[in-house]
Structure 1
Amino acid sequence: MRFDVPENAAGPADSWWSNAVVYQIYPRSFADSDADGVGDLQGIIERLDYLSQLGVDVLWLSPVYPSPHDDNGYDISDYQDIDPLFGTLADFDRLLAGVHERGMKLIMDLVVNHTSDEHPWFTASRDGGPGGDKRDWYIWRPPREGMEPGTAGAEPNNWESWFSGPAWTFDEASGEYYLHTFSRKQPDLNWDNPEVRQAVHAMMRWWLDRGVDGFRMDVINLISKDPALPDGIVPEGARYGFGHPYYVCGPRVHDYIAEMHREVFAGHPRRLLTVGEMPGVTVEEAKLFTDPSRRELDMVFQFEHVGLDQGPGGKFDVRPLKLTDLKASLGRWQTGLGETGWNSLYWNNHDQPRVVSRFGDDSPAHRDRSAKLLATVLHLHRGTPYVYQGEELAMANAPFASIDDFRDIESLNHYRDQIALGTDEAHILEGLRHRSRDNARTPMQWDATQHAGFTTGTPWIAVNPDHVDVNAKAQLADPDSVFHYYRRLIELRHTEPAVTHGDFHMLHPDHEQLYAFIRHDAATGTELLVLANFGPTDLTVDLPDGWEDSETLIANMPAAAPLTSPHTLRPWEARVHRRATA
């Protein structure tokens, strides 16, 4: 279906989402209305007023489709229904209506690099064998020549799955392997087949017709694979090859996303939001994806800044963050997409550990202050900020005691593989405590009661015991809470044009404790100065000229003294000042 009205081809800074804030909901951990221990759509409906009070503009739902839940719903078995675990389509329609009644929008998680192996498309592809009608909807290959099928090394290439182990699984019935860049229960779709693309487009239009306002597209830059499927380089000490060069931003990815835009979004009567999650994307690629004239996507999620505290051993090889690295990375993206394209701004999501534990200080003395500092720095950058559920409360990483406390497939696979290699268990668990995706997935902390008000049943994963002190009920009653600070930051983005439109200039890029920058909006003649002390000690800094009489726009601590140069910032202090330019 196409629409005849002219397409809105305005640039990013002119679009409704340029001064919007998005709130991500992980449904199974947000609010449980039926006491089965798993969050659901009715639970979200009951908390819409909370989200409205926070002031966010868009809700992004992680997957609520039918699924075997091998990867907590990112393995979808039916794209056009709701998993009974979460409710019904009627519940979804009520949720959507409630969101719209409150002046917010809702975007769905679109997971189309892969399906579940229980999706009818895949069962037809597998059961029909090499000559079946849907065989080419997925990526099937015979064993390596001369190798015994199903044995180690017989896989069509040596790629490693993102969830550990080989990226291929052998199907005995047909004598071939299918590709899965993630879990073996998440076979990759073959986007080179136009029937696959047409089916995906039809499904997307079905949701848009239902009233959703756009999509966050899971690992969308992985959909195009090098058809030769060559072996990847095997890193030293590894068992499998690094296949990313052959499918991260693959050969036809821009063609496929531009086609999706033409077939699904072009000329739609509502201006929709399209966000592409893109591991491994570069600034130059992101400019292409988000250039309005190319009509592909509105913005991308990039992962550069959340990989800066990883050692050579990968995400579970933890090293301290260097603030200079963080500034260099975020500054490069600010500059790179400053004239063309648009940034997504985030610290947290369902795949990342809690930022107050990661880049801040979650000790009682500094938890709230560092959470507010991190929010200040992020929300004052140019782009669209994303708040992950509980971030606005300074929710922290959980104290997982043993492997039995974890639920995430990536974490469990990593533990199993490292144990098999003889790695010390204590070392493995230390990495998981810092980096496991389960840190983001513990239940939302609504109050101080048992299970944090998330459920009256037994939660699917344990509640963080700190919910007795850190919860929404307490913070709503405290005007100086992290929640109310987020609310003020969101309001600032709505009301101060320099936050949306201003250019970006990093100050003191080589300083190891100070994060400082200026936003300048020529149209309004306004400048904003952002100062943040990323550390537990006082910090004295020299300021640019002319800021002594500037207005304090927002700060995470009461002013101890007028702004002068040099100025002393207290531990984890953040300040934003405004002045008019000549």
Structure 2
Amino acid sequence: MTDPPTTGDDEWWRSAAIYQVYPRSFADGDGDGTGDLLGVLDRLPYLRDLGVDAMWFTPWYPSPMADGGYDVADYRAIDPAFGDLALAEELIATAARLGLRTIVDVVPNHVSDQHRWFQEALAAGPGSPERARFWFRPGRGEHGELAPNGWQSNFGGPAWSRLVEADGTPGDWYLHLFAPGQPDLNWDSPEVRAEFEDVLRFWFERGVAGVRIDSAALLVKDPTLPELDDEPGPGEHPYVDRDELQDVYRAWRRIADEYGGRALVGEIWLPDVERFGRYLRPDVLHTAFNFDFLACPWQVDDLRRSIDTTTEMHRAVGAPATWVLANHDVTRTVTRYGRADTSFAFERKRFGTPTDLELGRRRARAAALLTMALPGSLYLYQGEELGLPEVEDLPLERLEDPMHERSGGVDPGRDGCRVPLPWNGQQAPYGFSAVPNGGAVAPSWLPQPADWAGLTVQAQASDLGSMLSLYRTALRLRREHPDLGDGSLTWLTGDEMDLEGVLAFRRGPSLVSVTNLRDVPIDLPRHDRVLLSSAPLEGGRLPADTTVWLDVPTP
């Protein structure tokens, strides 16, 4: 068994800065235009020097890529496009020697339709034990021509698809809350539960320090498959946040605790704070993503509410909050913060939304420092440290995301935040792909914009005013400063400064973070020195859309 880095801290996840790696788009080590584990291995020193503590990999397993790898065909192997299991083990071990932990993504709600279990279910026929691992049901109507119920897919359209049986006749329907290539598993099946517990052990034995659980609130369904009411009460939804989920994750927690220092991180979108908190009780998950903050608009009252709600809920269950501005599913921060509506919601994504990138970049810098000053752990999506914008002019024929297709072409989908990273050079692919011996560099799997030369790692590394330099300095201070990371915050009062349009809080005895969301500069509270600012001060005053960290006299 390979062990994660040894720091004497089994609760590393309470304060960690975690970098999300989308393998297809991080770095291409074999020159075929698709990112891979060889590319990540080569760039590990970059992540070490950036100042993060861990890497979270989105699925790297064999997959037909019906949903960007979240349609998994084998949880114990690596997709050949990315490498193989031996290379993954080398990557985990090498990262550990550099002080970087590895978190893998496990997708327990569904599998690929190419997964061995689903293929066995197709061959076995109606009523078989193989089909009991999934949600196969006969249709309604005189000839079974209607879906078992009216549930809708998260990607749009019906959540049911009908099979054509081996003899060519229409057969059972199967449930897929996402794409048709992602059949939902039946978590009432003991086989399903045992399989994923073994998958956890498989990766813990290979040294991973944590597991991110995709769609963590969706696993358990009401076996009667009732129609969905307009407004189900807490715990009453037929497939979201069912009470039985708690026992699933308690079993997972026992396994994680056996290995010591391993963390379980839930992807949980729930509006009800009390229900969300149940997943973070001491015997369930360690942490969960804070999507309320991610989707929050750049408005002082909304941000203050989100921060207060988040910290109070986590304090009540003794869990650390997580803070994240972006991931592989949402519009990149620089673009979103440059719009009239700075919040995020999937249903509001549209082509052609006007964006002021200069304003978005300024706010993204301020938001980065604000986020890194908050108590708990931090998640950083690859490319955010470079200030990459959403790519909104990808050729339609290159779009792969099922959200685009199933919306009838209205939703641009999520490919715009998944464009490969620019590393160096003046033109695409900007060092993303290695040059094969005697060969030409292949075009990247998604095209990069022609104006990204100034956003490469190489271009930003020596520029002290760049987004990359800001992130490197902030992450170093976050790691070194005793008041940052896990803990609590105390809001400044009106006696200390004018708080209109301002977020100002104290972390520990000596650090104050101030974010100015007004459109005019403001006076700062009494301080000894400026530790870091997202934009230069103007005559000692904090400009609009700027965050500053201050070293202040202890109370």
Q: Deviations over 1:537-576 (max 9, x none)?
A: 32436x6xxx3234322212334344xxxxx431322111
Is 1:248 the counterpart of 2:226? The answer is: no
Code of the residue aligned with 2:144 in structure 1: it is P
- In structure 1, the residue matched to 2:273 is 283
- In structure 2, the residue matched to 1:335 is 312
Is 1:569 the counterpart of 2:542? The answer is: yes
Secondary structure, aligned partner of 2:455: coil
Distance 1:167 1:365 in 2: 41
Whether the 8 Å CA contact 1:68–1:116 is kept in 2: the answer is: yes
Question: By how many angstroms is 1:251 displaced?
Answer: 2.8
Distance 1:501 1:41 in 2: 31
Whether the 8 Å CA contact 1:226–1:251 is kept in 2: the answer is: no
Determine which of 448, 452, 476 is the counterpart of 1:467: 452
Determine which of 470, 475, 479 is the counterpart of 1:490: 475
- In structure 2, the residue matched to 1:239 is none
Question: By how many angstroms is 1:232 displaced?
Answer: 1.4
Distance 1:249 1:67 in 2: 27
Whether the 8 Å CA contact 2:478–2:485 is kept in 1: the answer is: yes
Secondary structure, aligned partner of 2:315: coil
Distance 1:550 1:283 in 2: 38
Is 1:451 the counterpart of 2:441? The answer is: no
Q: Which runs of 5+ in 2 are unaligned?
A: 2-7, 340-354, 434-440
Question: Percent of aligned positions with the same letter in both sequences?
Answer: 33
- In structure 2, the residue matched to 1:303 is 291
- In structure 1, the residue matched to 2:520 is 538
- What pairs with 1:307-456 in structure 2 (closer than 5 Å)? 307-308=295-296, 322-339=299-316, 340-360=318-338, 363=356, 365-366=358-359, 368-400=361-393, 403-416=396-409, 428=410, 432=412, 436-447=413-424, 448-455=426-433, 456=441
Q: Which runs of 5+ in 1 are unaligned?
A: 2-9, 236-242, 310-320, 417-427, 563-567
Distance 1:244 1:383 in 2: 31
Change in CA separation of 1:299 and 1:360 when aligned onto 2, cut-off 3 Å: farther
Change in CA separation of 1:534 and 1:359 when aligned onto 2, cut-off 3 Å: farther
Whether the 8 Å CA contact 1:82–1:89 is kept in 2: the answer is: yes
Code of the residue aligned with 1:267 in structure 2: it is E
Code of the residue aligned with 1:452 in structure 2: it is Y
Code of the residue aligned with 1:518 in structure 2: it is F
Distance 2:311 2:502 in 1: 14
* TM-score, L = length of structure 2: 0.87
Distance 1:186 1:109 in 2: 16
Question: By how many angstroms is 1:505 displaced?
Answer: 3.9
Code of the residue aligned with 2:460 in structure 1: it is Q
Whether the 8 Å CA contact 1:323–1:512 is kept in 2: the answer is: no
Secondary structure, aligned partner of 1:342: coil
Question: By how many angstroms is 1:353 displaced?
Answer: 1.1
Distance 2:502 2:183 in 1: 43
Distance 2:62 2:110 in 1: 14
Question: By how many angstroms is 1:125 displaced?
Answer: 1.9
Q: Deviations over 1:419-471 (max 9, x none)?
A: xxxxxxxxx3xx63xxx311210111112332222122111111133312211
Q: Deviations over 1:18-37 (max 9, x none)?
A: 22100000000111122221
Is 1:548 the counterpart of 2:526? The answer is: yes
- In structure 1, the residue matched to 2:93 is 97
Distance 2:360 2:333 in 1: 11
Is 1:222 the counterpart of 2:218? The answer is: yes
Question: By how many angstroms is 1:401 displaced?
Answer: 5.7
Aligned residues: 515
- In structure 2, the residue matched to 1:162 is 154
Secondary structure, aligned partner of 1:59: strand
- In structure 1, the residue matched to 2:250 is 258
